[in-house]
Amino acid sequence: MHLHASTPPPTSGSRLRPALLVSTAVLALVAGLLLAWPGRAGAAADPLISRGRPATASSTESSSLGAANAFDGAASTRWASAEGKDPQWIRVDLGSGATVSRVKLTWESAYAKAYRVEVSADGATWTKIAEEKAGNGGTDDLTGLSGKGRYLRVYGTARGTAYGYSLFEAEVYGTVDGGPPPGGGAFTVVAAGDIAAQCTASDSGCAHPKTAALARQIDPKFYLTMGDNQYDDARIADFRTYYDKSWGTFKDKTHPVPGNHETYDPAGPLAGYKAYFGNIAYPQGKSYYSFDEGNWHFIALDSNAFDQAAQIDWLKADLAANGKQCTAAYWHHPLFSSGGHGNDPVSKPVWKILYAAKADLVLNGHDHHYERFAPQNPDGKAAADGIVEIVGGMGGAEPYPIEQVQPNSQKRISGQYGVLKLDFTDSGYGWTYVAADGSVKDTSPKYSCH
């Protein structure tokens, strides 16, 4: 698309199609009869059943204009197909068999002049439940539908412009067999790395109590830390004196990983880290582990030990057993960074494994700045099926300057402490970088899972 509206176009109202050009009196009579008909009495109140559900499309114009955008409930995001091609379609998985009574489509300026709404039980054989042959954009609110299937798609056969098809929202209403569709739905996560300097809230220049207060205020489903949780040598006494007074107040909701400073402990590498976090950091008996939330699989890795075969073998087995659609991994040392430490090749073998498994997101720390990268492959080449990497090492340790901007780096912020507020759905994700004072410093594109 070359048409980049930031908000949905005005609703075109209830457009009367040729087959419905009847008098107002007849319409009122029909409406009364429908409401009196027991089989349709609750249709107007049928719930929205498509929000946050997994979505796919025949094509997308770019990675930031994926199919999930049409089902995320946000008026500022959209799906856009490739330009100048017919037909094109967008499809949503409702989770199980559903009876569809209404579909509401909010078009961007690039709309469909002709399209069908279809349902399917298996995603292969489709049944038409509505059709438009003379569309003019705006909002199409298709009510009184009767269709049953697990999947619903909007199948565009003729574009209304020279560009493509673009939907701000596609809302499906009805009832799902056996109750709500499966999946955990939407949830929020707060993440940061490089956190507890040796200072407390009594020191006005101490940052980690401020980022902790922000993280606590956001009140996410859980917290992720990307290593170097405690400076300088991560002794157990330091964890108890500093980290525990700030980020430690929500330790039971935290999924940590270690950084290089956790290896400096005179009592032994990771000794203080393990003593402080206990089974929280070692839920599977190792310094690396995985867990699930909703339709997401999260993998916590120890990048101090990427040269050890045991962790690599475990990672391959874990990915092979994963049944979730979306995958995020997090550890300390970033493969790509524009900060003082720069690119760290120790992470490249892990990137190759994750890329082959179609992982979506990687979170890192180590360099004390915020940075986001466009999807790329392990060789640093931009790729539509690539992994998105975020460096989020601004949890409280002294900031590092940006030194050499790397290819595919889209945004860099140094000198401003803060946290990542990540918003996940069953089929995609996005995030904001929030400063310690609560102001939003960056907002990501919306991404669909691979």
- Percent of the chain, pLDDT > 70? 88
Coil, helix or strand for 66? coil
- Asked which of 70-79, 188-197, 261-270, 418-427 is least confident by mean pLDDT, the reply is 70-79
Cβ atoms within 10 A of the Cβ of 85, count? 13
Cβ atoms within 10 A of the Cβ of 127, count? 12
Cα 374 from Cα 22, distance rounded (Å): 52
Cα 117 from Cα 155, distance rounded (Å): 6
In the predicted structure, residue 24 carries a pLDDT above the cut 50? no
Cα 157 from Cα 147, distance rounded (Å): 20
- The reported pTM is 0.65
Q: How far is CA 171 from the centre of its chain?
A: 19
Q: Could you tell me which of 341, 361, 371, 348 has the C-alpha nearest to residue 424?
A: 361
Cα–Cα distances (Å) from 182 to 53, 100, 101, 342, in that order, read 9, 17, 20, 42
Q: What is the average pLDDT across 37-44?
A: 38
Binning pLDDT at 50, 70 and 90, where does residue 45 land? low
Q: Which residues contact 181 (CB under 8 A, 6 or more apart)?
A: 49, 53, 94, 95, 96, 98
Q: What is the average pLDDT across 166-170?
A: 96
In the chain, ranges of CATH 2.60.120.260 domains: 45-176
Q: What is the average pLDDT across 184-191?
A: 87
Q: What is the average pLDDT across 335-342?
A: 97
Helices and strands in the chain, H and E counts: 6, 22
Q: What is the average pLDDT across 260-278?
A: 98
pLDDT at 6: 36
Q: Count CA atoms within 13 Å of residue 93 on its CB side.
A: 16
pLDDT at 4: 34
pLDDT tens readout for residues 197-218: 999 999 999 999 999 999 999 9
- Asked which of 44-58, 153-167, 293-307 is least confident by mean pLDDT, the reply is 44-58
**Rg for the chain (alpha carbons), in Å?**
25
Cα 54 from Cα 164, distance rounded (Å): 22
**Mean pLDDT over all residues of the chain?**
89
Cα 196 from Cα 206, distance rounded (Å): 9
pLDDT tens readout for residues 94-133: 988 999 999 999 999 999 999 999 999 999 999 999 999 9
Cα–Cα distances (Å) from 412 to 229, 370, 372, 429, in that order, read 22, 6, 7, 20
In the chain, ranges of CATH 3.60.21.10 domains: 187-448
In the predicted structure, residue 7 carries a pLDDT above the cut 80? no
Spell out a b/e string for 259-281, using b for 16 or more CB atoms within 10 Å of the CB, else e: bbbbbbbeeebbbbbbbbbeeeb
Cα 330 from Cα 191, distance rounded (Å): 10
pLDDT tens readout for residues 224-246: 999 999 999 999 999 999 999 99
User: Is domain 45-176 classified as CATH 2.60.120.260?
Assistant: yes
CATH: 1.20.120.80, 3.60.21.10, 3.40.50.620, 1.10.1610.10. Which one for 187-448? 3.60.21.10
Q: What is the average pLDDT across 348-358?
A: 97
Q: What is the average pLDDT across 361-377?
A: 98
Hunting for tokens 């060789």 — which residue is that? Answer: 379
CB 261 within 8 A of CB 234: yes
In the predicted structure, residue 29 carries a pLDDT above the cut 50? no
In the predicted structure, residue 309 carries a pLDDT above the cut 70? yes
Cα 368 from Cα 361, distance rounded (Å): 19
pLDDT at 53: 86
Q: What is the average pLDDT across 400-425?
A: 96
